[in-house]
Amino acid sequence: MMDNMTHFTTYTLMEPHNAKSYRFIYFTCFLFLYVMILFLNIWLSVVIVLEKALHEPMYIFLCNLCVNDIFGTVAFYPKFLHDLILNSYVISSYMCAFQAFVVYTYVMCEYSTLAVMAYDRHVAICQPLDYHTKMNKFSCSILLGLCWVIPFLNMFIAVFLSNRLVPCRNHIEKLFCDNWSIVKLSCESTVINNIYGFVFISLYFGLVIVIMMSYIKLIIACKASLECRRKFWQTCVPHVISLINITVAILFDTIYNRYGSKSLQNFLALEMLIVPPLANPVIYGLKLHEVRKRIFQSFVNIRQQ
């Protein structure tokens, strides 16, 4: 039995509903989604990088959010499109671990970046005179580094703990690999994984509470000033929408992991890889005045050329 368990070098992923009949429709739809995600996030990132007027902490953090959205979707869309073309839903154990690592690093980096953006807005609105002192190039670099280093370290530990387990099954009831799906393949004790997962989820749930408390404090602080309310509406509302967006996506994924079935067609699990990366650049591109103005100007420049 143990010898058989150690020979699983590949896993099979769940096929989409009626995959053989509709795989070309699925391929077209997901290719369109992926192209749109890449186009919107790359375009917004390029505009921020090229426009010196946007070289402010708020827009730099927004650029980081776009880069993270691209990073997260790279782990899913190319592999899924490849599977649809070949009608073969097989993944190596190493690629599965990599996919789980990237997907959840993306989620954690999304929360970390939103937390940094909340702190940036808190300083800008509540302590405007100290803003450029506190949010200088060095502090912004440190905050951006933490947005990536902490999620990478957390997921490295999580994936390491998962891959030390010996699987006794090789079928994953999902369209992509995640850490919990890998853990469920094992017939060994997963107590350590469960404890680490609980601590891990608790920390990020606490981070969500801190972010929300920060925005509540900003709302209270803005009551007395019309200018302050205007700043909050223009710059903070997109952050709140993004936070709600990714949190709902994670809740959907958690619900799918616990209660999902084929009849749901994996929509709940895929929501976090579709809606946040697609919605973030649209939300910020339309809501932030400076970004919107620069995007329109870039379109005008292209037409004139």
pLDDT of res. 113: 93
Residue-wise pLDDT for 3-27, tens only, equals 444 556 789 988 887 777 888 898 9
Ordered strands of the 171-172 beta sheet: 90-92, 10-13, 171-172
Distance CA 143, CA 65 (A): 13
pLDDT of res. 1: 40
Q: Is the pLDDT of residue 275 over 80?
A: yes
Residue-wise pLDDT for 102-119, tens only, equals 998 999 999 999 999 888
7-304 folds as Rhopdopsin 7-helix transmembrane proteins (1.20.1070)
Residues making up the chain, counted from first to last: 305
Residue-wise pLDDT for 231-270, tens only, equals 777 777 777 888 888 888 777 777 666 665 555 546 667 8
Task: Over range 193-211, report the average pLDDT.
Answer: 84
Distance CA 136, CA 140 (A): 6
For the chain, give the mean pLDDT: 83
Distance CA 72, CA 96 (A): 14
Q: Which residue has the higher pLDDT, 265 or 182?
A: 182
Domain ranges of the chain: 7-304
